[in-house]
Amino acid sequence: MEVASEVFRRQGYTGTSIDRLAESMRISKPSLYGTYGDKAQLYLMALEAFADRIGRMAEEALNQEGGLEAAICRYLGCVLEVYFEGGDQGSGCLVMSTAATEAPSQPAVQKFLAEVLARADEVVARRIQRERGDGRGAPSQSDMALARVVTGILVSLSTRARAGESREELQKIVESTAKLICAGY
């Protein structure tokens, strides 16, 4: 699934052909269809696998010991590392960079994207809530608002990585975001 994820991440859903997927995955087209169904099903499976992998890594980084500013830096920094896997040219996030484009025409992708964003918002909001010393109940509206800013930065980092901004420049955004969130908290 990692190979399919990488092909979709670099070329997008529309720019990826079944021939390219089969060639990259080193399987025949009939085997690809037999195993994964059609291109849309494979794309959704690739999105899910990518989101699960990056989500686990990011949540672990966010929940390590230390203050909120350090936690947000680790969270966004972890994601940034994934956006630059494979070299100095960032390829961004499969979910944030491609699913938003496909969501209006693919209801299953739209639903998945909404769930990923909600999950990211919730994880960050709970960490903010914990920093306030209140781990009970649902996060407050202000916790959720700050979390949505952090989640929005994920999209910006992905877009900027794909646009060719350096890892160093994006790391500055990560650090500034963490400072701003903590100043507003």
- What CATH number is attached to the domain comprising 120? 1.10.357.10
pLDDT for 131: 86
Question: Is residue 2 one of the residues assigned to a domain?
Answer: no
Residue 129 lies in a domain: yes
Q: Which domain holds residue 120?
A: 55-184
Residue 185: per-residue pLDDT? 62
40 belongs to a structural domain: no
Q: Would 152 be classed as within a structural domain?
A: yes
C-alpha dihedral, 54 to 79 to 19 to 48, nearest 10°: 30
Residue 127 lies in a domain: yes
Q: What is the pLDDT of residue 135?
A: 64
Contacts of 108 (CB under 8 A, 6+ apart): 40, 44
Question: pLDDT tens per residue, the chain (185 residues)?
Answer: 888 988 898 889 999 999 999 999 999 989 989 999 899 999 999 999 999 999 999 999 998 988 999 999 999 999 999 999 877 788 889 999 999 999 999 999 999 999 999 999 999 999 999 887 766 777 888 899 999 999 999 999 999 999 999 999 999 999 999 999 888 66
In a domain, 33, yes or no: no
Q: What's the predicted TM-score (pTM) here?
A: 0.88
Q: How many domains does the chain have?
A: 1
**79, 167 Cβ separation under 8 angstroms:** no
Write out the E strands in 62-159.
none
Tell me if 6 is assigned to some domain: no
Instruction: Give the pLDDT score at 175.
Output: 95
- Count the alpha carbons within 13 Å of 106 in the hemisphere toward its beta carbon: 17
Residue 46 lies in a domain: no
Instruction: Give pLDDT, residue 65.
Output: 87
Give pLDDT, residue 133.
Answer: 78
What pLDDT shows up at residue 48? 95
